[in-house]
Amino acid sequence: MNKILLISLCAAVCFTACKTKKEEKEEPGKYTITSPVLIDTSFAKDYIAQIQSIQNVEIHAMVKGFIQSINVDEGQQVRAGQVLFKIMPKEYEAELQKAKAAATTAQIELQNVKKLADKNIVSSSELAIAQAKLDEAKAEVSRAELFVSFTEIKAPFDGVIDRIQFKLGSLIDEGTLLTTLSNNKSVFAYFNVSEVEYLDFKNKKVDDKQKVSLLLANGDEHKYKGVIETIEGQFDNETGNIAFRAKFPNPDFLLKHGETGKVRLTLSIKNALLIPQKCTYELQDKIYVYVLDKDNKLKSRNISIKQKLSNLYIIDSGLNETDKILLDGLQTASDDQKVEADFIPAIKVIENLQLIKQ
């Protein structure tokens, strides 16, 4: 009998202990809770850009011959009209003298025919033929003068000389590339924008042209702001992007044709739903938050991110303003866990992070 009583007492003690532990386990823990905040905001986004001179042209020889002089050096700043190269002109000068002599002969012949025509010795048609020969001779003079002028190759605008392809004395053909000339007083930066960002940009109401910054390859920011001047006429079907062109002043000639950089564009978003990044965790390449239900229990929920900011996420889908989400303690939280909520408005959290200017 005593043995049975002892067993019953032990069972009661074990049951009571198990019940106490279970109650302790089910006792809700304290966690900090917040909510998404709906606010107008902006963020900076960088786009890889290709830098091009506002003018960049190839300088070709217009006539065949030997390079008699090279009057510039690579990297030199030149003025419009400055002689860059000279091709040996003797052959073309001889052709010019020949054409001038032929024109003089034609002029004398015309005068003689005109005297005869005035005396009705020759017909008016012969006079017309003589006039035509003179006109043809003058045209040959103009053509020869043009070829002589081609022996001096001049800069079409102010710019910087690129690599010189041939040395002094080289024999070159008509059309040979001699160098390239770039006008770098200002530069264009071309960058690609997605269709969604393009639509956001076009729908934005702005009074002035959009100001943008240029980040150089070493991370420095170009000290002159640029403006977006134009957008290309069609999207690239393969990438779904469209090209923007920004123009940047370059009075120090720091930027060169062919450089790369990043255009930093400030994009505005109205009614952006923001949460701190610390509210989220990743699982199998997906992003989750813990949402507090009406029974004060945590439920994991997959969310979609529209844009990542510094310590913030802009939510695309999965949350709304009224949701309450776990802010701290994600490492120890679990699904269906009952919690005691200490609520902090998200705007306070964001202000503490100093990420939104008031």
- Both 235 and 133 in one domain: the answer is no
CATH number of the CATH domain containing 81: 2.40.50.100
Amino acid 310: pLDDT: 78
56 CA to centre of own chain:
18
Alpha-carbon gap, residue 288 to 246, rounded angstroms? 38
What CATH number is given to the structural domain containing 212?
Answer: 2.40.30.170
Inside any domain, residue 22: no
Q: pLDDT band for 205, please (50, 70, 90 cuts).
A: low
What pLDDT shows up at residue 120?
Answer: 82
In this structure, the strands spanning 83-87 and 211-215 are: unpaired
CATH code of the domain covering residue 95: 1.10.287.470
pLDDT for position 204: 67
pLDDT of 339 above 60 = yes
Greater pLDDT, 1 or 56: 56
242 belongs to a structural domain: yes
Predicted confidence (pLDDT) per residue in 247-305, tens digit: 999 999 999 999 999 999 887 788 889 999 989 999 988 999 999 998 889 999 999 99
Please tell me the distance from the alpha carbon of residue 72 to that of residue 164, in angstroms, as a whole number: 9
Q: How many independent structural domains does the chain possess?
A: 4
- Check pLDDT > 80 for residue 350: no
Q: Quick one: which of 23, 159, 148, 133 has its CA closest to 86? A: 148
Residue 357: inside a domain: no
Which range (2-16, 24-38, 42-56, 193-207) has the least confidence? 2-16
pLDDT, tens only, 211-221:
899 999 999 99
38: enclosing H helix or E strand: strand 37-60
Looking at 239, 270, 301, the residue that finishes a domain is: 270
CA distance 13 to 5: 12
- Identify the band that residue 308 occupies on the pLDDT scale cut at 50, 70 and 90: confident
Cα 313 to Cα 306: distance, rounded to the nearest angstrom:
8
Region 81-89 average pLDDT: 96
State the CATH number of the domain containing residue 295.
2.40.420.20
Final residue of a domain: which of 175, 210, 238? Answer: 175
| 343 and 319 inside one domain | yes
Tell me the average pLDDT across 71-87. Answer: 96
Residue 279 lies in a domain: yes
- pLDDT exceeds 90 at position 4: no
Q: What is the pLDDT of residue 331?
A: 86
Greatest alpha-carbon span in the chain = 168
Q: Do 276 and 346 have their domain in common?
A: yes
Question: 348 and 304, same structural domain?
Answer: yes
Lowest-pLDDT range of 19-33, 134-148, 178-192: 19-33
Q: Can you give the residue range of the structural domain that contains 77?
A: 62-85+154-175
Q: Are residues 170 and 123 in the same domain?
A: no
- Per-residue pLDDT at 22: 44
Question: If you average pLDDT over residues 135-150, what whole number do you get?
Answer: 95
Same domain membership, residue 312 and residue 167: no
pLDDT of residue 320: 92
Residue 327 in contact with residue 347, Cβ under 8 Å? Answer: no
- Residue 346 sits in the same domain as residue 277: yes
Residue 324 lies in a domain: yes
Q: Are residues 204 and 236 in the same domain?
A: yes
Residue 5 lies in a domain: no
* CA–CA distances in Å: residue 341 to residues 54, 292, 347: 61, 9, 17
140 in any annotated domain = yes
pLDDT for 358 equals 42
Q: What is the pLDDT of residue 116?
A: 87
158 and 297 part of one domain: no
- DSSP code of 277? G
pLDDT-based confidence at residue 20 (cuts at 50, 70, 90): very low
Say yes or no: 80 and 167 in one domain.
yes
255 and 188, same structural domain?
yes
Q: How confident is the model at residue 124 (pLDDT cuts 50, 70, 90)?
A: confident
Q: Per-residue pLDDT averaged across 156-164, rounded? A: 95
**Which residue among 270, 303, 330 closes a domain?**
270
Whether 126 and 71 share a structural domain: no
Q: 7 in a domain, yes or no? A: no
Residues 8-32, mean pLDDT to the nearest whole number:
55
